[in-house]
Amino acid sequence: MEFELWWLLALPLAFGLGWLASRLDLRQWRRDGGVRRSAALSYFRGLNFLLSEQQDQAIDAFIEAVTADPDTVDLHFALGNLFRRRGEYERAVRVHQNLLARADLSGADRQRAQVALAQDFFKAGLLDRAEDAYASLMGTPLRSEALAALLQIFERTREWERAIDCARELERLGAGSYARQIAHYWCELALRARQRDDLDGALRALDEAAAIDAHAVRPWQLRAAIAQRQGQVDTAIGQLQHIAQLRPEFVALVALDLAQLFDAAGQREAGLDWLLAQLRDNPAIDLLDAVLRLVAQRCAVRADLAAPADHQQQRHRANFGSGQRRQRVQRCTQPRVLQVDQRHAACGQMHADRRSHRRALVAGDSMDDVRMAALQARAEPAQQRIGNAAGVAHAGGGELVDEACGVDRHRRPRLSASPESGRGCPRPACTALRLRACGRARGWPARPCASPGRRRAADGWRRSRC
């Protein structure tokens, strides 16, 4: 093989072509690297704004990053979530729809974008579109999440049958127990049937609710309402009392209904005892309110029964103030008032006599003048006392007449002979009631002796003075 000279020319040419290709690759790499660095800087700048709670600047930074590098999927998700949090649901939907329109999107990212789009529709109130978006995820690993979201949609749209099916499907997938929610769904169906006057259908729905959740309180409450509507008051009371056996802490929720039923059934005393027992075991404001309502109703009934007796008593008091009645009382009390007035005046004048004697001796008066003044004071007419006694009788009845005259119906005082006979005076241990009624006008002290010893000493002293 012969060596050709032009082969020497091929070597520099190949070297030049290689150098040119390397320069082109380096320029492209630098351009791509600059774009990636710009997108990364925008992404981190957006995160910084987001952590600083500056959402407007964060959105601008994420938009710049997405514009620089449209292939960044995470930036699209972050931008869509920001739009949804700010309430810009239309822009969030547009971002997630653009993600779904990409052909190079992986299956996991596509499912993730579908969930984000369904959340956008749900937040925007487009429940039918959200339902369709979640329904497209039934055959994916995100089925449980989609069913939980569909359950919320069915609750909002009040589609209770579909909500029951969805909750049972979640239980089959191992998402936990939904017995309480299903029981409430059956109660809602019972309410709907009761509104249609389908009481049998309502009772069947309540039976389903009680069978699913044995500790549910609401089915028994609705059963009591249906029984009350049918006029079965005793049955309604039994249904509500059954709640105390299931959940005693929930008795307060039906306490007012129980009070109303006890009152309608005429079982106020039994109902009051039952509510008081529940109040002692589980104190609550609603229970106390129900007890007070029953007590008020019982007092109102007793007041209605006592109204005729009060009317008769008022008529008796009105007739007592007539002129003939007043004169009869005055004639009956006049001798007694005179006798009591004389005895108490004689006993009470003793202190005034002593003071008068001392003043007379100091002033130089004669003893005859002093005795004459004492006799005039003792001879004071008792007509005023009789009028006072009659006035008291007019105001309050026979008991007040005895009070004014110093007579105690339960314990009559034993009076000795009059002072004029020289055989003693009344017992000083008279009550404060008689002293107020008969002795205050005489000026002598109206305070009875405090102890038996003092009463005996005062009794002996008064007897010696009289």
Domain holding 336, by residue range, is: 323-453
Same domain, 339 and 422: yes
CATH code (residue 262): 1.25.40.10
Same domain, 266 and 294: yes
d(CA 292, CA 271): 12
Same domain, 275 and 243: yes
If one counts every other C-beta atom within 10 angstroms of the C-beta of residue 151, the result is 22
d(CA 298, CA 267): 10
Rounded-to-5 percentages of helix, strand, coil across the chain = 80, 0, 20
The count of domains in the chain is: 2
Q: Which two tokens stand for residue 127?
A: 């429940």
Same domain, 351 and 283: no
d(CA 133, CA 71): 24
Same domain, 246 and 355: no
Q: Is residue 149 part of a domain?
A: no
End-of-domain residue from the set 272, 305, 338: 305
Q: Is residue 95 part of a domain?
A: no
84 burial level (CB within 10 Å; 0-12, 13-18, 19+): buried
Residue 383 pLDDT: 46
Same domain, 340 and 449: yes
d(CA 135, CA 225): 39
Q: Is residue 48 part of a domain?
A: no
Same domain, 378 and 444: yes
450 burial level (CB within 10 Å; 0-12, 13-18, 19+): exposed
Q: Is residue 123 part of a domain?
A: no
Q: Where are the alpha helices (DSSP H) in 52-174?
A: 55-68, 73-85, 89-100, 107-124, 127-135, 143-157, 160-172
Same domain, 335 and 435: yes
d(CA 391, CA 399): 13
Q: With H, G, I as helix, E, B as strand and everything else as coil, classify residue 321.
A: coil
d(CA 119, CA 112): 11
Same domain, 342 and 433: yes
d(CA 281, CA 13): 104
Q: Is residue 17 part of a domain?
A: no
- The secondary structure of 393-421 as a DSSP string is HHHH-HHHHHHHHT--SSS-------GGG
Q: Residue type at 401?
A: V
Q: Is residue 297 part of a domain?
A: yes
Same domain, 414 and 367: yes
Q: CA-based diameter of the chain, in Å?
A: 191
Q: Is residue 110 part of a domain?
A: no
End-of-domain residue from the set 275, 305, 335: 305
Q: Is residue 371 part of a domain?
A: yes
End-of-domain residue from the set 243, 274, 305: 305
Residue 411 pLDDT: 45
Residue 224 pLDDT: 94
- Residue 276: closest CA among 297, 261, 257, 290: 290
Residue 427 pLDDT: 42
Residue 114 pLDDT: 92
Residues of the chain with pLDDT under 70: 1-11, 15, 19-71, 301-466
Residue 385 pLDDT: 45
d(CA 456, CA 462): 10
Residue 410 pLDDT: 45
64 within 8 A of 81, measured Cβ to Cβ: no
Residue 405 pLDDT: 42
Q: Which two tokens stand for residue 119?
A: 């959340």
Same domain, 330 and 443: yes
* Tokens 């239309």 -> residue: 90
What is the per-residue pLDDT across 354-405, written as a single tens digit (0 to 9) for each?
555 555 544 555 555 555 555 555 545 444 544 444 444 344 444 433 443 4
Same domain, 386 and 424: yes
